[in-house]
Amino acid sequence: MRIGLYPGTFDPVTLGHLDIIRRATVLVDKLVIGVAINRDKGPLFSLEDRVAMIEAECADIAAETGCQIEAHAFDNLLIDCAQDVGASIIVRGLRAVADFEYEYQMVGMNRVLNNSIETVFLMADAEYQAIASKLVKEIARLGGDVSRFVTPTVQRNLVAKFD
């Protein structure tokens, strides 16, 4: 069974993330969404909320694609998390050139730590490429419409946060 790990903060999960998840299901039998606890980043949503939103949004994708999808909270090294969940590949999404530089470094360093786990990069559909959780939160905080960036459930949760 081929297992992939898609790590991130998912604060909150966006249509960009979901597009990457859907694309990743083609590559693996089981996709583990690694939800970084990330206390330093001071996430808007609690770990429980971020996991719950991912699970709710991924249920349909799992049913449609036949790929098993589960969320897994992690607070350790990415490469150790990959080993914990039995992943042979790490999936990352690439947006702009800005993502590339950081990802390039991460792969280089992770390779030194564990050379047997391959990282693959996927690009979201053009429509979703510009979406970033950070900007979605900023728009929601200022009362803007985020319906083109997140699902209706996530939108409701965002609106409730800034009410």
Q: Is residue 132 part of the contact set for ligand ADP (CB under 6 A)? A: yes
Q: Is residue 92 part of the contact set for ligand ADP (CB under 6 A)? A: yes
Q: Is residue 131 part of the contact set for ligand ADP (CB under 6 A)? A: yes
CA atoms of 122 and 24, how far apart (whole Å): 8
What is the DSSP secondary-structure string of 12-60? T--HHHHHHHHHHTTT-SEEEEEEE--GGG--SS-HHHHHHHHHHHHHH
CA atoms of 110 and 9, how far apart (whole Å): 18
- Indicate the length of the chain as a whole number: 163
Catalytic residue numbers, as ranges: 17, 41, 95, 133
Choice between 30 and 50, CB closer to ligand ADP: 50
CB of 7 to ligand ADP, least distance (A): 7
Amino acid at 157: N
CA atoms of 131 and 154, how far apart (whole Å): 14
* Chain position carrying tokens 């449609």: 64
Q: Is residue 133 part of the contact set for ligand ADP (CB under 6 A)? A: yes
CB of 123 to ligand ADP, least distance (A): 6
Q: Is residue 72 part of the contact set for ligand ADP (CB under 6 A)? A: no
CB of 90 to ligand ADP, least distance (A): 9
Choice between 131 and 146, CB closer to ligand ADP: 131
How many CB atoms neighbour CB 22 within 10 A?
A: 20
Q: Is residue 20 part of the contact set for ligand ADP (CB under 6 A)? A: yes
For ligand ADP, the binding residues (CB under 6 A) are 8-10, 14, 16-17, 20, 92-93, 95, 99, 124, 128-129, 131-134
